[in-house]
Amino acid sequence: MKITLVQNCLVCKQSSDTSICQFCFDDLTLFDMDRYQHNLMLSPKVNLGLSKVDFPQVLALADYQWPLSKLLTALKFSKQIPNAQGLATLFVKHCLNSIPALPQLIIPMPLYKNRYLYRKFNQSIELAKQICRQTQLDMDTSIISRNKSTSPQTNLSAAQRRRNMQNAFAVSDAAQLRLKRYKHIVLFDDVITTGSTMNCAYRTLLKHNPHLKIDVWSICLTLAH
């Protein structure tokens, strides 16, 4: 006898055997993985929105939209762990199911350390943890550290923003040694907006490890059009 765990859909609250029910799932508009061959840089819209970044590959579930936006906000500000589980399940099912090559290691985007000490919660770590639980991926949260607060930057000029980004991330010597074990890793953030923070982390890792293949994943993209 198959025992089905009945729970309430995270979106519509109706009872469901999955964290997001089939009706809510069918209502979502997700990126087409086959059309873009698991690389949304092949989508003209995404490519234009991320025209200033160096990373050649990006994978995400969807544009930032309801109800994913609501689930992400409640995870970030109200520490709703079931939302991390639901979103990770969607991500694994939709984005990773038929991916040609899974990376070996996932590195969640760190928060600036004072911010982390204050909040004691990083939504990207919670999401990555759930993704790892459902795949064979390793996670390492101590490879890259964030020395500067890089957000909010909305009131800064482009030049000020670039200056602020310089040396925002660091890779310690010990982390550098651990990285030598890997050929293919992924940087993960809950949401990518301009891509500038992600790009800074990407460049820092690549500078020290030119041999590494570094993919970029996020749950949602909020690109300016």
Contacts with Zn ion by CB under 5 A lie at 9, 11-12, 21, 24
Tracing tokens 């890997």 back to the chain, one arrives at 182
Tokens of 43: 């989508």
CB 7 within 8 A of CB 17: yes
Which string of DSSP letters, residue by residue, matches 84-106?
Answer: HHHHHHHHIIIIITT-S---SEE
Query: Least Å distance between CB 16 and Zn ion?
Result: 6
Query: Least Å distance between CB 86 and Zn ion?
Result: 10
Rounded Cα–Cα distance for residues 115 and 117 (Å): 5
Q: What is the helix (H) or strand (E) element at residue 187, kind and residue range?
A: strand 184-192
Cβ proximity to Zn ion: between 21 and 107 the closer is: 21
Rounded Cα–Cα distance for residues 131 and 109 (Å): 14
Cβ proximity to Zn ion: between 11 and 127 the closer is: 11
Residues belonging to the chain: 225
Query: Least Å distance between CB 90 and Zn ion?
Result: 12
CB 10 within 8 A of CB 19: yes
Cβ proximity to Zn ion: between 13 and 181 the closer is: 13
Query: Least Å distance between CB 26 and Zn ion?
Result: 10
Query: Least Å distance between CB 195 and Zn ion?
Result: 31
Cβ proximity to Zn ion: between 18 and 149 the closer is: 18
Helix (H, G, I), strand (E, B) or coil at 7: strand
- Name which of 169, 221, 223, 215 is nearest 190 in CA terms: 221
- Name which of 79, 77, 50, 65 is nearest 196 in CA terms: 50
Query: Least Å distance between CB 20 and Zn ion?
Result: 6
CB 63 within 8 A of CB 222: yes
Query: Least Å distance between CB 153 and Zn ion?
Result: 35
Cβ proximity to Zn ion: between 21 and 198 the closer is: 21
202: number of Cβ within 10 Å: 21
Cβ proximity to Zn ion: between 28 and 99 the closer is: 28
Cβ proximity to Zn ion: between 24 and 68 the closer is: 24
